[in-house]
Structures are given as structure tokens and as C-alpha cells.
């Protein structure tokens, strides 16, 4: 399979990982909003290089993705997004200790309706 490299702003995708699936969508402007009717799969992210910068100082990330032979490559105006593999990113926090602190810095009355926590014993 061929590869494609895509350069994006470094801060746009902080949770991006190798193994995520990249997609793009062509957008059109309508009444001041960007709209899209479909999306196209680019492929699996094979590499992430965070060490590049443009001439204007903007930090960028260069992504390497696997693509199929018949995949139409995205243009610079297309919206790029990613999905996680739910087989890998399915678990919650792991460990033996948790601590939380809730702080209200407002002088107005505030009420906390609910707090929840998912707990699963990881070992005995």
C-alpha cells in the first residue's frame, strides 16, 4: 500500500496516536457555516513527526498514513479528522488510588448535582 504525508497544526490533534484511522471531508460554505455531506477514509496513521515548524513559526505535525491505491487524496481545504480503535482505547483509568478535589471559585451559589466514578477491581 502507498503512503501519504499530511501536515497539520500541532495543537489541532493532541490525542492522535499511531493506529488511529484518518478521514477527510470536503466542506462547502452555506450561510456562514461550513457543511459536509460525506467523508472519505484516508487510512491508518503509521507515523507522527512533531518536530517540524513552518517559516512563520507555526508548529506542525507531519502524519504518515497508509492509503489504498484508489483513495482520492485530500486537498488543503478539506477537514481532516480521526477515529480511535475501540479495541485498544476501551478501558478507563487503572490504578489503586484516586483523589479528586472540587473547587468553586465563584461567590455565587453553586450546586453539584452528581458525581460518578467507574471502579473495576484490576487484581486481588
Contacts 24+ apart (CB under 8 A), 11-16: 11/59, 13/61, 13/82, 15/84, 16/45, 16/48, 16/61, 16/63, 16/82
Asked if the structure places residue 55 within a domain, the reply is yes
- Residue range 32-64, pLDDT digits in tens: 777 777 888 888 889 888 766 666 767 777 888
pLDDT, mean over the chain: 78
- pLDDT-based confidence at residue 113 (cuts at 50, 70, 90): confident
Give the count of domains, the chain. 1
Between CA 64 and CA 21 the distance in angstroms is 11
Question: Domain containing 44: what range?
Answer: 3-83
Between CA 51 and CA 99 the distance in angstroms is 35
DSSP output for 100-116: -------SS--------
Asked if the structure places residue 32 within a domain, the reply is yes
Asked if the structure places residue 75 within a domain, the reply is yes
Q: What is the pTM of this model?
A: 0.60
- Residue range 65-76, pLDDT digits in tens: 888 888 888 888
Amino acid at each position: 500500500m502507498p503512503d501519504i504525508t499530511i501536515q497539520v497544526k500541532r495543537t489541532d490533534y493532541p490525542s492522535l496516536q499511531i493506529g488511529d484511522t484518518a478521514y477527510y471531508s470536503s466542506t462547502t460554505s452555506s450561510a456562514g457555516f461550513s457543511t459536509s455531506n460525506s467523508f472519505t477514509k484516508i487510512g491508518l496513521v503509521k507515523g507522527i513527526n512533531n518536530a517540524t515548524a513552518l517559516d512563520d513559526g507555526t508548529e506542525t505535525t507531519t502524519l504518515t498514513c497508509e492509503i489504498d491505491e484508489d483513495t482520492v487524496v485530500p486537498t488543503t481545504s478539506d477537514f481532516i479528522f480521526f477515529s480511535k480503535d475501540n479495541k485498544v482505547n476501551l478501558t478507563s483509568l487503572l490504578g489503586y488510588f484516586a483523589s479528586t478535589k472540587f473547587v468553586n471559585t465563584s461567590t455565587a451559589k453553586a450546586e453539584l448535582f452528581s458525581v460518578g466514578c467507574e471502579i473495576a477491581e484490576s487484581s486481588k
